[in-house]
Amino acid sequence: MSLISLAVAAILFGVGTYLILQRALSRIIIGLGLVSHGANLLIVLGGGFGGVPPILSDGVDPAAVADPLPQAMVLTAIVITFGVTALLLALALRSYLLTGTDEVEDDPEDRRVAREVHPVVEPDPDEDMHEVVA
Amino acid sequence: MFLVLLIHAALALGVVAARSRLGRSSFAVGAFGPLSLLVWLITNGRSIADGIPHRETIGWVPSLDLVLDLRVDAYALVFLYVIAVAGICILLYAARYFGSDPKVGTFAGTMVLFGGAMVGLVAADHLLAMFLFWELTTITSYLLIGYSDQQESARSAALHAAMVTGGGGLALLAGMVMIGTESGTFTISEILANPPSGSAKMGIAWALVLIGAVTKSAQFPFHGWLPGAMAAPTPASAYLHSATMVKAGIFLVGRLAPAALMAATWWQPTVLSIGFVTMIIGGWQALRQNDLKLLLAYGTVSQLGFLFLLVGSGEAKLLYGGLALLVAHALFKATLFMVVGTIDHEAGTRDLRRLSGLRTSLPAVFWVAVLAAASMAALPLTFGFVAKEAAFDGLVKSGGGLVALASFASILTVVYTGRFLIGAFGRHHPGHEPATPLGPAPRNALVWAPIVLAAAAAVLGLVPGLVAPAIDAAVVASRATAKAGKLVLWPGLVPALGWSMVSLVIGSVLLWQNALVQRATDIVGSASRRLPSADGAFRRSVAGLLSFADRSSGLIQSGSLPRYIAIILLVAVFVPATALFRGGISGGSMPVGGLLEAILGLLIVGAAATLLFTTRRFAAVLLLGGVGYGVAGLFAVFGGPDLSLTQLLVETLVVALFALVLRYLPATFTPARFERTMRLVVAVAVAAFVFLGGLVAFSSRQAAPVSDRYVELSVPEAQGANVVNVILVDFRGFDTLGEITVLAIATLGVSGLVLPIVRSRRESP
């Protein structure tokens, strides 16, 4: 770990977030890719100060190798990110071919709910004084 | 006692289950609930009144100290008798009041359940068990009030009652928990024997308990829900107003007042003030009502104020009169409600301006009403008079001019009682269409149920010695004071008699000069309409809450997906960030990093920054690839050649994939138009949080990494020199299996999405 790499990871998160918050689907996918890179970097940084590659051939001091566990986890993460990216790209493509646009639209139902306002009911002072007896 | 509760529950369920067969007879079957209570009271009442409380303990979750402790002492006995007698009469009355409709059976079941909850509330000796029954009465009363669910007014009245009493219930729960934890026990009898001493915390706890009682008993400023509860069918109103529901708050303050007095010096003055204000406001409002039921409802508010201050003050001499008045009030108020119900049933209206000639067409009802009304106005020879004398006597002995205030409120009582009688049985007002009963006078429970109660009150009025021992035992049980007061037919020439005679005379004169009273109430009424009323405050606060909810959900749930993500991210950042800043941020011994890192870092940041501004899709993809390659370089720097290679490979594949898809998409992005500031703020917040969080997290490692064992065992156990590979395929092989599964599913998804496109392109080029 080091300040420079930490800053790089943080910037990747920031730029990625900025892109994810847009409406063009392909930009969102690119933003997600950046955030994934940042996350992978963070995990590796969590392993400590680095070191020689964790390959125990002759003459390698086991105490000097880099932490292998974060590396194994990130390896898995890279591959899974690839799968997710491929799926998202397929979705974006399908969505573009069906709707003719690459943009995420507002949810119409949520829009309707947001516009709805409860009516304030004023009681009727001249209500009938006879109750309804079933 | 537990059996009695079970009988109530079983009857309630049974009546609801058999509602289509029973129809309105459901009420008659349900009456076996209060009947079982009455039988129990008669068999056990004597020894309880002698000072030996009846106890039962049923383990519910004993390991959590959740046991159903029942304890009936002489104080509870008074309440239970009232619940039983009023319950039987009202349920039998209801069996003739309603038409035959299966829905009525559900109502009957709810009423029985409500009665059972009241019994449990009074008998429970555990604060939390008592609270459960308390809330059960809130819920069942909501269902009772909202019975005519086709009517907007009934629904809103039910909601009003439920929100006020339910909100008070929450305050009560908080207070009870505080009291229970402070005294180390939730058993009420133990708390009373050894009350927690005064402290700021206990002051808050008792205030919360008082709020619970004030809302339940419809005391100022929460009295608005009770007149609204008139939307309930009349039998339910009679039960709620006379014997149950509103008496729950009275019961609670009376039960806990001895302990509250030990901890809170403000308790007594507060209870007295609330009671007097409620008493006068209720009486005043009753003068202005034209609906007989509403008139009675405001009368109940007024009477409750009196009971609240008498029973809640914690003074033995006030408690004595209070309990006597409680019995008297239950008897005459239940009777009068049933009278109103019968009038409504026969004449089709409760408007006192329209009712006419009922004295001749419903003679029995008229005489019952006169009897009960005399008790309400406290005319001599009635039980109301006997009880009120006892109450006034206690007030005179307490001094401080309290009796003068009570006497003033009693003037109002006399006047509204007169209005009730004249309005119901006199002639219709000029300018209003008269309403008289059509058919012959009924000869069933509609008439004799009120007669039974009125007769009971009359007997008690003439022979108060019948009930005096029970009241005395109750005061002994609660305050350990014998002979705190007396119930006698004629008190002799004492100050209390003077005060009640003064209010009777002034009240009668005012009634005689009715026009004067009406003008006064009209003038004050139109002036006070501009003042904030409890009901208006409630409606405004509900409307305000709804519009706040509308606005806030409109703001948060706007339909904009970017905004949703922004909100989620901000919450995800700020919640841990507050914890981060509370702990303080220290970078520790984080190294800056080497030259190679700096160069790669610049490359990555440069590519990422350019990504922000580019509008050409293909350029964006290439920049993403550039970032990936840079990250691969950083991996190599940190000693991960496998990582580096995988990253390079995958990044190349990703760029290729993008290139395949981009063929179909337009060459440039539509430039993002809106919400640039929001995106910028969220992005900066996320980046800052990652940086600071990483700084703290990475410099606070304390344990040795688990991977030391992996390095140690890699060659001897798995015969592999590359530790990362060994972890993936051996030590954590199942993780890799999971990873492969994810990839397989993603492949299925991609082919499902893409293959139809490919096929359709092939068919129609």
Low-confidence ranges of chain B (pLDDT < 70): 65-66, 100, 102, 437-441, 443, 445, 525-535, 585-588, 670-674, 764-765
Residue A103 contacts by C-beta under 8 Å, 6 or more apart in sequence?
A23, A24, A25, B670
Domain count, chain A: 1
- Domain-located, residue A113: no
B635 reaches A (C-beta below 8 A): yes
- Given this model, what pLDDT does residue B203 score? 87
Picking from B604, B611, B711, the nearest residue to A54 by CB comes out as B711
Cis peptide before B671 (omega within 30 of 0): no
The answer to whether the predicted template modeling score (pTM) of the entire model surpasses 0.80 is no
- Domain-located, residue A123: no
**What residues of chain B lie within 8 A of the CB of A68, using their CB?**
707, 710-711, 723-724, 727
How far apart are alpha carbons B670 and B687 in whole angstroms?
Answer: 26
Band the pLDDT of A129: cuts 50, 70, 90: very low
Q: Which residue of B has its CA nearest to A85?
A: B654
Picking from B640, B722, B757, the nearest residue to A94 by CB comes out as B757
Structure tokens at B554: 């409109």
B543 reaches A (C-beta below 8 A): yes
Query: Is pLDDT larger for residue A121 or for residue A27?
Result: A27
B717 reaches A (C-beta below 8 A): no
Band the pLDDT of A36: cuts 50, 70, 90: very high
Q: What is the least distance, in Å, from the CA of A28 to any CA of chain B?
A: 10
Q: A134 and B754 in contact by Cβ < 8 A?
A: no
- Given this model, what pLDDT does residue A126 score? 40
A33 reaches B (C-beta below 8 A): yes
Q: Where are the domains of chain B?
A: 273-512, 561-702
What would the pLDDT profile of B527-567 be if each residue is shown by its tens digit?
666 565 666 777 788 888 888 888 888 877 877 888 888 98
- Nearest by Cα to A52 from B376, B723, B725: B723
Residue B61's DSSP bridge partners are: B66
- Given this model, what pLDDT does residue A124 score? 45
Band the pLDDT of A133: cuts 50, 70, 90: very low
B540 reaches A (C-beta below 8 A): no
Residue A93: domain span: 3-52+67-102
B559 reaches A (C-beta below 8 A): yes
B351 reaches A (C-beta below 8 A): yes
What would the pLDDT profile of A48-78 be if each residue is shown by its tens digit?
777 788 888 877 888 888 888 999 999 999 9
Picking from A3, A17, A40, the nearest residue to B569 by CB comes out as A17
A99 reaches B (C-beta below 8 A): no
- Nearest by Cα to B472 from B627, B317, B637, B606: B317
Q: B621 and A30 in contact by Cβ < 8 A?
A: yes
Q: B723 and A84 in contact by Cβ < 8 A?
A: no
| Own/partner long-range contacts of B36-44 (Cβ < 8 Å, ≥24 apart) | B36/B3, B36/B4, B36/B7, B36/B8, B37/B4, B37/B8, B37/B80, B37/B83, B37/B84, B37/B87, B37/B119, B38/B81, B38/B84, B38/B85, B38/B88, B40/B1, B40/B3, B40/B4, B41/B77, B41/B80, B41/B81, B41/B84, B44/B72
| Contact by Cβ (8 Å): A23, A104 | yes
Q: What is the SS3 assignment for B501?
A: helix
Secondary structure (H, E, C), B284-308:
HHHCCCCEHHHHHHHHHHHHHHHHH
- Domain-located, residue A118: no
Q: Which residue of B has its CA nearest to A32?
A: B624
Q: Which residue of A has its CA nearest to B680?
A: A18
Which of B564, B621, B707, B740 is the best residue to mutate to test the A interface, defined by the most A CB atoms within 10 Å of its own CB?
Answer: B707
A7 reaches B (C-beta below 8 A): yes
- Given this model, what pLDDT does residue A128 score? 40
- Domain-located, residue A122: no
A44 reaches B (C-beta below 8 A): yes
Q: A9 and B694 in contact by Cβ < 8 A?
A: yes
Q: B724 and A14 in contact by Cβ < 8 A?
A: no
**What residues of chain B lie within 8 A of the CB of A34, using their CB?**
608, 611, 624, 627
Q: Could you tell me how many CB contacts below 8 A there are between chain A and chain B?
A: 343
A43 reaches B (C-beta below 8 A): no
Q: B754 and A90 in contact by Cβ < 8 A?
A: yes
Q: A75 and B728 in contact by Cβ < 8 A?
A: yes
- Domain-located, residue A34: yes
Picking from A8, A40, A104, the nearest residue to B605 by CB comes out as A8
Q: A33 and B624 in contact by Cβ < 8 A?
A: yes
Q: A3 and B592 in contact by Cβ < 8 A?
A: yes
B539 reaches A (C-beta below 8 A): yes
The packing angle between helices B383-398 and B402-425, to 10°, is: 160
Q: What is the least distance, in Å, from the CA of A127 to any CA of chain B?
A: 8
How far apart are alpha carbons B311 and B162 in whole angstroms?
Answer: 25
- Given this model, what pLDDT does residue B534 score? 65
Q: Between residues 419 and 448 of chain B, which touch chain A (CB distance below 8 Å)?
A: none
| Contact by Cβ (8 Å): B11, B33 | yes
Which of A71, A95, A96 is the best residue to mutate to test the B interface, defined by the most B CB atoms within 10 Å of its own CB?
Answer: A71
- Domain-located, residue A8: yes
How far apart are alpha carbons B121 and B115 in whole angstroms?
Answer: 10
CATH among 3.30.1370, 2.40.50, 1.20.120, 4.10.1060 for B561-702: 1.20.120
* CATH, residue A95: 1.10.287.3510
- Domain-located, residue A126: no
Is residue B617 exposed (0-12), middle (13-18) or buried (19+ Cβ within 10 Å)? Answer: buried
Q: Which residue of B has its CA nearest to A21?
A: B562
| Contact by Cβ (8 Å): B76, B123 | yes
